[in-house]
Amino acid sequence: MSKTETKALAGTGAPDGQSPAAEVKTALAGFVSDLGQFQTEMKTKFQQQEERLMMLDRKSLTRVRPALAAAAEAEAPHQKAFEAYVRNGDDDALRGLDLEGKAMSSAVAGDGGYLVDPQTSDTIRSALLSTASVRQIANVVNVEASSYDVLVDTTDVGAGWATETATAAETGTPNIERITIPLHELSAMPKISQRLLDDSAFDIENWLSSRISDKFARSESAAFINGDGIDKPTGFLTYPTVVNGTEVWGELGHVVSGADGAFDAVDPANALVDLVFALGSEYRANGSFVMNSKTVGQVRKLKDADGRFLWSDSLSAGEPPRLMGHPVLICEDMPDIASDSLSIAFGDFDAGYTIAERPDLRILRDPFSAKPHVMFYASKRVGGDVSDFGAIKVLKFAV
């Protein structure tokens, strides 16, 4: 407190004979002056503090490219290392990382091919699962070997009624079939110019994953249906078919449409009813139809004896349409309706067809073969084969 304020509070008169009111006024003026000086000092200190913070931010700020994907911070090292390898072939960061992740279970390949980062691998897997392929309804297993064996019980165990005193008779023993599904190499080789790779604004992860997933999806879908088993999966339509009820192991049962290359003109829906009930009851509950778009165009016009359409579109988003209460997979690799064609399949594909694959996806960068472009050789190991011939039936368009 200043001397002037002390004198005013004490109520004493000023040496020059001022009145008490004048003394209070003088004291208040001094107080206001001191307060203004304090406010000025605080503003100066705050301004200096702000300037220091801005200086520190500028020193710590680096000019970096924003992240291309909204990944978690835990994935950033994988993403940066993979991006460096794809853009300029720098594999030092990849060699120092453990690339085991959610979708992978193999270490870095020693031959120069590297696993993709977890986010890109998940993107490709999601695209494969969402593609109209038998993969959606088949049994998919991950293996670490070069093949996958499926053991199938092709016959039933014998049984009989026994009495209290009679000797029990020997009953039949089931037969076990072994199906070996070899893994084949599926590859894609997109290329891109080095100039575009040098462009930091180019979203290389999305480009690479979309190209690979598109190629893999189309190749897989065709092989799972029509593959000959030579360096590719064995398609279920490549096996011989016989009239339903006469087939043996290694054959598919078929029912006929009633007309050559068409549905029966009088009762076209009967063929679909026969196809559904040709499948055993243990498989029918999980049965799905597989056909292409052209066949769908004819099937959805069919009606039952009461004039009701057999086809019903799903009312829920993402749910497949249904034919006679069973889901329909529209797969363009199924053959068109023609003479003796097998254009419609029905079965429990989770039991009837097995897809075996290695969980790792590899990418090899090749900057030499197509200069000035850089080629990316992406590969994975996958195989497929029928695992239960009784679980799949086909409709043959014949008399």
Per-residue pLDDT tens over the stretch 110-148: 344 445 555 666 666 666 666 668 989 999 998 888 888
pLDDT bucket at 21, cuts 50 / 70 / 90 = confident
Q: Looking at the structure, do residues 367 and 223 belong to the same domain, yes or no?
A: yes
> Is the pLDDT at 253 greater than 90, yes or no?
yes
Among 224, 285, 280, 287, which residue's Cα sits nearest to residue 253? 280
What pTM was estimated for this model as a whole? 0.67
Which DSSP letter does residue 272 get? H
Q: What is the spatial distance between Cα 168 and Cα 162, in angstroms, rounded to a whole number?
A: 6
For the chain, percent of residues with pLDDT exceeding 70: 72
Q: Which pLDDT score, from 0 to 100, does residue 329 have?
A: 93
Asked whether residue 349 falls in the same domain as residue 294, the answer is: yes
Does 285 fall in a domain?
yes
Average pLDDT over residues 75-94: 58
Claim to verify: residue 254 and residue 378 sit in the same structural domain: no
In 10 A of CB 54, how many CB atoms? 10
In a domain, 107, yes or no: yes
The DSSP code sequence of 11-80 is TPPPTT---HHHHHHHHHHHHHHHHHHHHHHHHHHHHHHHHHHHHHHHHH----PPPSS---GGGHHHHH
229: Cβ contacts below 8 Å, ≥ 6 apart = 238, 385
> Do the beta carbons of residue 395 and residue 258 sit within 8 Å?
no
pLDDT at 195: 80
| CATH code: domain of residue 195 | 3.30.2400.10
| 145 & 253 share domain | no
Same structural domain for residues 91 and 213? yes
Domain containing 253 — which CATH number? 3.30.2320
Of 27-36, 53-62, 202-211, 362-371, which gets the smallest average pLDDT? 53-62
Question: Which 8-state DSSP code applies to residue 305?
Answer: T
- How many structural domains is the chain composed of? 2
Confidence of residue 105 (pLDDT cuts 50, 70, 90): very low
- 246 shares its domain with 390: yes
pLDDT beyond 60 at 76: no
**140 and 82 within one domain:** yes
* pLDDT the model gives residue 383: 94
* pLDDT score recorded for residue 72: 44
In this structure, the answer to whether residues 150 and 178 fall within a common structural domain is: yes
Distance linking the first and last C-alpha atoms of the chain = 116
Whether residue 176 is contained in a domain is answered as yes
| pLDDT tens-digit series, residues 289-333 | 999 999 999 999 998 888 888 898 877 777 888 999 999 999 999
Question: Percent of the chain beyond pLDDT 90?
Answer: 33
3-state secondary structure of 295: helix
Is 257 within a domain?
yes
- The larger pLDDT score, comparing residue 335 to residue 146, is at 335
Q: Do 223 and 257 lie in a common domain? A: no
Residues 347 and 360 in one domain: no
251 with 389: CB under 8 angstroms?
yes
Please state, rounded to an integer, the average pLDDT across all residues of the chain. 79
> Is pLDDT at 355 greater than 80 in this prediction?
yes
Q: What is the pLDDT of residue 278?
A: 95
The C-alpha torsion from 139 through 143 and 146 to 148, rounded to 10°, is -40
Asked if residue 98 and residue 196 are part of one domain, the reply reads: yes
Give the pLDDT score at 352: 92
Same domain membership, residue 287 and residue 360: no
Q: Mean per-residue pLDDT for 338-355?
A: 94
Spatial separation of the C-alpha atoms in residues 105 and 143, rounded to whole Å: 10
Range of the domain at 369: 77-154+172-232+356-385
Cβ(187)–Cβ(379) under 8 Å? yes
Residues 238 and 227: beta-carbon distance below 8 Å: yes
